[in-house]
Structure 1
Amino acid sequence: MAEFWFNTETHEVEEGRRSDWSKVMGPYPSREAAQHALDTARARTQAWDKEDEERR
């Protein structure tokens, strides 16, 4: 099964990791999921920030 990676430098999706690990996010199970990598990361960060605030 193919893995997809989001390249944070080029903002392109790579099938199979071709770039250095420091420039990619993933792996993701589909091209579409990789295309939304930044949105997914942003949503997770916001949720974690909310949890941190609620614990204080």
Structure 2
Amino acid sequence: MPDGDKKYWYNISTGQVEFGMQSPAVDRAGPFDTAEEAAQAPAIIRARSNAWAEEEVAEGGWDVPGSTPAS
């Protein structure tokens, strides 16, 4: 059994937590070690995305709406 079948996934289409790779990859976020962690996937994804965007701004890359331009 592949490792992904022993983990929890968040289905971004349904908003449901799934055990194992039940849904197509395009609909899954994860893997996560626990169902509780998978349930927090939207917040985790949002926080990581914001952190990456802030890094880009700090490095003089992409502009983020509402941010101050790098000097």
Name the TM-score, length of structure 2 as normaliser: 0.73
Comparing 20-29 with 1-10, which one deviates more in the overlay? 1-10
| Structure 1 counterpart of 2:59 | 55
Gaps of 5+ in 1: none
Unaligned runs of 5+ in 2: 61-71
Misfit runs of 4+, over 3 Å: none
Q: Which has the larger radius of gyration?
A: 2
Q: Determine the structure 1 residue equivalent to 2:66.
A: none
Taking only aligned residues, the RMSD between alpha carbons, in angstroms, comes to 1.3
Higher relative contact order by CA 8 Å / sep ≥ 6: 1 or 2? 1
The normalised TM-score by structure 1 is: 0.91
Larger proportion of helix: 1
- Matched residues, percent identical? 32
In terms of fraction of residues, the more strand-rich structure is 1
Q: 2:49 aligns with which of 40, 45, 49?
A: 45
Shift in Å at residue 8 of structure 1? 0.7
Shift in Å at residue 17 of structure 1? Answer: 1.3
